[in-house]
Each structure stands twice: as structure tokens, then as C-alpha cells.
Amino acid sequence: MRRKKELMVGFLLILPALVVLVALYVYPLALSVYMSFVAQGRFSLANYLKVFEIYWRDIIYSVVISLVATAVTLGLSIGVSGYLRFKSWKFLEIMYKLPLFIPFLIVGHAMRVFLAPHGTLNNLLTRILRIEELPGLSRSWIGLVWAFVWVMTPYAALIVFGAFRSLDNAYIEAAQNLGASRWKIVFDVLIPMCRPSIMVAFILTFVRTISSLTIPIMVGPASPNMITVNMMFRVNYFNDWGTANALGVISYLIVMVFAIYYLKFMAAERGGIKA
């Protein structure tokens, strides 16, 4: 009886949040899947055929760009976290977190100014190297990856460093006593023991990269495009919701395996909150 009452009160407490989530997230999400199968008022696969015909290159491009950006981000995060696990360096600790809360749109604008052919970076490099001119990196895939890495690294590093730091010193001291170098400890002790957190950092970075719209519009090349940009064009210029939603569903499918791992892992940890 008491337990039943407790279940009841608990449910009532989360009800307002649940209503918001179901009405404004779950419903549009389900709608996006449904709309992707509707073309000219009828149930069909026409939208998907169109997507594969027009956008197959862009889909591959989005996945590759996201994987490259995520790989570089993780490499940097592990490097920074590994270094800070052994040595404290206040400068680096402030620097790696600096881009943390800067909105993606502003990152896009800042990177456009920084990486443009006559931007801040080339301005400095041409002076140091004493050469006439350098090609700009904005509006290229390198600039796009650069912008993603810049904004994703603080967040991924925070997750990885948190895991590294919470690992008991005893493991590290044991390895040190056996004569392991720092980098050997990072690769043979820290990374294997913190694999779940590194996986979470990987998933969140990958999902955030592949679903970002503003950074690709601001710094990405005109063609090929990330699929988010194509979604926007489909809605804004062609009023073509079917194809936009088919692209959306494909983006869900791309992250599906990772998303399920993430949800299971976080649910096992009760939302990532250790009691």
C-alpha cells in the first residue's frame, strides 16, 4: 500500500516534465518518422529514393567528416587529460575549457573570420613565414573539421579527464613501480580502465557533430554538404518536408547503434548519477 502511494507521488512529480517531453519531443520525433514515408499525400518510399539519388554523396561525406572530427577530438582529449593526470598546468587547464559554452553559431562566425584566406590565422602565418599568401581554410572540409574540433574538445576532454582523475592512484603507482613510462600508463592502464567514459565522449561528440547545422552553414564548403544543411534547404527553399524528414530518419539510423549503447549505459548508471 505504502509502495503504491510512493509510485503514485513519484509519477505525479515527473508528470509536468513528461508532458513537456512527450508533446514537444516525442510527438515531433514520431512525426518526422511518419512524414518521411509520405509523398504526395500517399504512403510511399519515394522520399528515400530521392534522398539516395540526390544526397548519397552528402550522407557519406557527413559520416566521414563526423568520424574524422570525433577521432581528432578524442585524440586531443586523451592527450590533454593524460598530461593533466600527471602534471598540473593551470594554463592548459584554463585553455582547454575556454570554448566550452560558446554557442555553435558564434564558433561558426569566429572560425570564418579566423580561417578565411585573408583571416587572422593567415595574417599571422604569412608574416612569420615571410611569404606572400596562403590558401584559406574556411569553406573547406579542413576548416569544417577544425571548427568542430575546436568546440567539441573541451567537452570531450572534461568527460575523459573526469574519468582519469577518479581512477585510483594505486593502479598508476603499481604500473610506475614496474617501470612503465607515463605514455605507457595512459595507453595500458588509463584508457582501458576508462573505456566506458571514453565511449560516452565518443558518442556525444559524434552525435553533436553530425547533427550540427550552424557550423557547416558558416564554415563548410558549398558542396558537398552535411545532411543537416540539406534538411534546411529542403524545408526553407523547396518546402519539401518529406525529403527533409527522410534525411532526418537517416541521421537517426546513423547514430542508432551508438545511441542505444549510450542510453543503456546511462540508464544503468541512473542517468549518469552515482548515488
Partner 1 sequence: MTGFSILKMTLKMVLIFVVLLLVVGPLVGIVLWSFARIWYWPSPVPQEFTLRYWAEVFRQGRVLSSLILSLRIALITVGLSISVAIPAAYAFARYRLPAESVLLFLFLMPQAFPQLPVFINLARVFGKIGLRGNPWGIILAHTMASLVFSLWIITATFKSIPLDLEQAAQNLGASRFRAFWTITFPLGIPGIVAGAIHVFLWSMGEFNAAFFIGAPFIQTAPVLMYTASAGYNMQIASVIAIVLMVPSLLFMLVIEKFLKAEYIAGIGG
State yes or no: residue 100 binds partner 1 (CB under 8 A). Answer: yes
Whether the Cβ atoms of residue 58 and residue 230 lie closer than 8 Å to each other: yes
State yes or no: residue 10 binds partner 1 (CB under 8 A). Answer: yes
Site for partner 1 in 117-146 (CB under 8 A): 118-121, 123-124, 126-127
> 161: which residues sit within 8 A by CB, 6+ positions away?
77, 80, 81, 84, 85
Stretch of 53-61, 177-185, 186-194, 251-259 contacting partner 1, by CB under 8 A: 251-259
State yes or no: residue 106 binds partner 1 (CB under 8 A). Answer: yes
Stretch of 11-19, 44-52, 178-186, 188-196 contacting partner 1, by CB under 8 A: 11-19
Q: At what angle do helices 195-210 and 141-166 cross, to 10 degrees?
A: 150
Residue 173 CB, shortest distance to partner 1, in Å, is: 26
Residue 72 CB, shortest distance to partner 1, in Å, is: 12
CA distance 62 to 211: 9
Ranges assigned E (strand) in 36-114: 38-39, 42-43
Query: What is the pattern of x (binds partner 1, CB under 8 A) and - over residues 221-240?
Result: -------x--x---xx----
Stretch of 30-38, 44-52, 170-178, 179-187 contacting partner 1, by CB under 8 A: 30-38
Whether the Cβ atoms of residue 227 and residue 176 lie closer than 8 Å to each other: no
Residue 116 CB, shortest distance to partner 1, in Å, is: 9
Whether the Cβ atoms of residue 231 and residue 247 lie closer than 8 Å to each other: yes
CA distance 147 to 226: 14
Query: What is the pattern of x (binds partner 1, CB under 8 A) and - over residues 171-210?
Result: -----------------------------x--xx--xx-x
Whether the Cβ atoms of residue 20 and residue 236 lie closer than 8 Å to each other: no
